[in-house]
Amino acid sequence: MTDHLQFAARVMLELPYVPNRQQEAVIVALARFCCDPSCADRVFVLNGYAGTGKSSLTGALVKAMTSAGMKSQLLAPTGRAAKVFSGYAGKPAFTIHRKIYRHLPGADFSGAPAPRDNNETDTLFIVDEASMIGGEDERGSNLLEDLLQYVYAGQNCRLVLIGDTAQLPPVGSETSPAMDPDRLRRAGLKVTRATMTETARQHRQSGILYNATWLRRAMLSPELPEPRLFVNDFPDVSVVSGEELSERLETAYSRDGVDQTLIITRSNRTARDYNLAIRNNVLYVEDELMRGDLLIVAKNNYFWSRKVKGMDFIANGDVVRIERVYGLEVRYGFRFVDVSLSMPDRDTAFDAKIMLATLFSETAGLPREDIEKLYYTMIDDPDTFPADMPYDTRLRQLRDNPYWNALQVKYAYAATCHKAQGGQWANIFVDLSYIPPEAMGIDFYRWLYTAVTRATGSLTFINAPEDSVR
C-alpha cells in the first residue's frame, strides 16, 4: 500500500499552484483515507466553498491516483456536472443514475429502476456536486441510499462526497442529505469530513468570489442580515436596469458569444418569458426554431448520441445549436421537429428529433402527465405496435423509438438556478426583480449564492434593490 504522505506529496505536485495550509491539511486527510486499507466502511465528506480551490484539488487527486495505479470512478448527479467534473479531472465522469441503475427510469411507470451490481474492487468512487443528490423521490427510489448500497457492495470500495453546502439543496429538500454526516452514520458508515473555507490566493481580487463569500458567511449568522451586493469596488460585478438589459446582453454576446452568457431566474415561467423576449428583441427571431438558435437540454438523453463517436450521452443542461431545421410533424398529440444540431463546446454535429412542448412549458421539463400521455398513446397505437404484440415486446421497442426519445429542450438564453447548477458561464445575469422582503430568507441566500458562483468572468444583477448595492 502507498504511504499516505508520499501520496499527498504526489497530489500537491499535480496542483497548478502552491497550496495553502488548509488545502495541505485536506490533501493529507484525503491521502490517508485513500491509502488506508481499513477504510472500506468509511466515507469522506469534503465541503468546499466557492473559490477555495476544491475543483483544482479534486482534479489533482484524480491525476495522482491514476499515476499511482490506484483505481477511481468519477460520478456526478447531473449530466452537466459530470462533464464539468470530467473537464478538470482529465478523466471521464458519469451520472450517478447511469452508473448504478440498469436503465434510466421513465420507460414505464411500474416503479423504481433496478440497481446494477458493483463488480469493482479496490476502487475509490468520487462524487462531485454531491450537495445536489436528493433522497427519496416520487417513485419511492432514494438516490443517496442506492448510491451507498452500490459503492459498498463492491470489494474494498470507498466513497468521497464533494459538495458545497451553501448551494441550493436538492429540489424538495431543506438540506443536502449526502453532505449530512448524521445521515451517513445512520447508514452504518464511519464519516471523515473536511471543510475548505479559505479563499485561494489567486481569487481574492474577484468581485464574484467576494460576493459569494459574503453570502456564505451571512448564511452562518444567527440572524440573516439584509442582502448586500458588492459592486462599486469590482470591475467584474455590475448592476443593470431592465431598460438597459438588451444593450448589455448584446455587448456580452459580441464579446464572449451567446453560448457563454446566461440569465438566471427564480422560476421556469420567468425564464420562459426572458427567452422569448431575448429572441424577439435582442436576436430578432420570430419563428419557433431557426438556424443558430441555442437550446438547453432539459433531460439526459442516451439515444441520439449513439452514432456520435466519443459522445456517451447528451446531458441535462448541455447547450446545443440548431444548424438546420428539416420539418415539423404532429404525432401522438405532440409536435416534433427533425433538426441537425451542433454543440458549442465541442466539434460535434448530429441529427435528432426534438419535442416542441418543453420550449414553452412552465416546468423544468415535460410534465409527468404529458410523459404518461405520450407513453400510453404510443404503447396503444396500432400504427406503432401491432395489436397482438406482447406488452414486454412493445416496451423494449418503445425504448428505441425516436419519438419516445425525442430531445426535451428549452431556449438557452435564460434558465432557473437549478437548471444552471453544476455549470459555468463567462457572463451571468441574475434577475432580482420583484422579490418581496419576506421571501429573502435562507432559501433566497442559497439561490443567490448558487447563481453568483455560476459566473467565471462577469456578474450582473438585474433590477437590484438600490438599498442593497454597495
- pLDDT of 434-457, one tens digit each? 888 777 889 999 999 999 999 999
In order of 344, 369, 370, the CA distances from 34 in angstroms are 37, 46, 46
Highest mean pLDDT, choosing among 116-125, 258-267, 435-444: 258-267
Q: Per-residue pLDDT for 65 more than 50?
A: yes
Q: Per-residue pLDDT for 140 more than 90?
A: no
Please say whether the dihedral angle defined by the alpha carbons of residues 440, 443, 445 and 451, taken in this order, is positive or negative.
negative
Identify whether residues 110 and 215 lie together within a single domain: no
pLDDT at position 108: 45
Place 261 in a pLDDT band, splitting at 50, 70 and 90. very high
Whether the pTM exceeds 0.95: the reply is: no
pLDDT at position 344: 74
pLDDT at position 45: 95
Identify whether residues 110 and 232 lie together within a single domain: no
Identify whether residues 344 and 452 lie together within a single domain: no
DSSP summary character for residue 233: T
Reported residue count of the chain is 470
Q: Is 159 helix (H, G, I), strand (E, B) or coil?
A: strand
Identify whether residues 190 and 272 lie together within a single domain: no
Query: Is 8 inside any structural domain?
Result: yes
311 or 4, which is more confident = 4
Identify whether residues 258 and 213 lie together within a single domain: yes
Place 100 in a pLDDT band, splitting at 50, 70 and 90. confident
Query: Is 460 inside any structural domain?
Result: yes
Place 111 in a pLDDT band, splitting at 50, 70 and 90. very low
Q: Per-residue pLDDT for 236 more than 60?
A: yes
CA dist 305 and 318 (Å) reads 13
CA dist 2 and 317 (Å) reads 39
Q: Per-residue pLDDT for 104 more than 50?
A: no
* Single residue among 200, 223, 247 that ends a domain in this structure: 200
Summary mean pLDDT of the chain = 87
Identify whether residues 429 and 324 lie together within a single domain: no
Identify whether residues 135 and 255 lie together within a single domain: no
CATH number at residue 270: 3.40.50.300
Identify whether residues 244 and 307 lie together within a single domain: no
Q: Is 466 helix (H, G, I), strand (E, B) or coil?
A: helix
First to last CA, the chain: 54
Query: Is 74 inside any structural domain?
Result: yes
Place 202 in a pLDDT band, splitting at 50, 70 and 90. low
* Single residue among 182, 200, 218 that ends a domain in this structure: 200
pLDDT at position 252: 95
Give the CA radius of gyration of the chain: 23
Identify whether residues 421 and 398 lie together within a single domain: no
Identify whether residues 250 and 356 lie together within a single domain: no
* Single residue among 411, 428, 443 that ends a domain in this structure: 411
In order of 34, 153, 370, 376, 379, the CA distances from 382 in angstroms are 56, 44, 20, 12, 8
Print the domain residue range for 9: 4-200
Query: Is 289 inside any structural domain?
Result: no
Query: What proportion of the chain, given as a percentage, has pLDDT over 90?
Result: 45
CA dist 469 and 461 (Å) reads 10
Per the structure, the count of domains in the chain is 3
Contacts of 284 (CB under 8 A, 6+ apart): none
pLDDT in tens, 24-61: 999 999 999 988 877 667 899 999 998 888 889 999 99
Identify whether residues 178 and 31 lie together within a single domain: yes
318 or 133, which is more confident = 133
Query: Is 288 inside any structural domain?
Result: no
Identify whether residues 221 and 158 lie together within a single domain: no
Query: Is 43 inside any structural domain?
Result: yes
Q: Per-residue pLDDT for 354 more than 60?
A: yes
